[in-house]
Amino acid sequence: GNDDYTQPGNLFRLMSAAQRAQLFANIAEAMDNVPERIKARQLAHFYRADPAYARGVAEKLALDIKPIAALARLSLSELIDSTSEENYAGQQVAARPAAAGA
């Protein structure tokens, strides 16, 4: 497709499980000190490429995927506005409870 998400999504789906795990770990490490609102914004982009891509990184960052999925449905301008410093308060996606058995 002629968009920003088809090609990255296709590449992601070609990766093996081990390659995906390494990708998730690398991205999460690089985003460690990034403000949560920027993490949420970037995860929305990953979600548009492939929801499993966003879920994998979100899990490594201990972020809840549900608010990310909602952000992914916004237009680009709405996404940027929703994750601005002024508007992001109250949309926290951190502090996801650990999954049972995790």
Q: For 30-52, write each residue's pLDDT tens digit.
A: 999 999 999 999 999 999 999 99
Question: Nearest 5°: phi and psi at 93?
Answer: -115, 0
Asked if residue 95 is part of any domain, the answer here is: no
Asked if residue 94 is part of any domain, the answer here is: no
Asked if residue 60 is part of any domain, the answer here is: yes
Q: For 3-14, write each residue's pLDDT tens digit.
A: 899 999 999 999
Does residue 17 have a pLDDT over 80? yes
User: Residue 38: which domain range?
Assistant: 6-85
Q: pTM for the full model? A: 0.83
Asked if residue 47 is part of any domain, the answer here is: yes
Asked if residue 1 is part of any domain, the answer here is: no
Split into its structural domains, the chain has a count of 1
Q: List CB contacts of 17: < 8 A, sequence separation 6 or more.
A: none
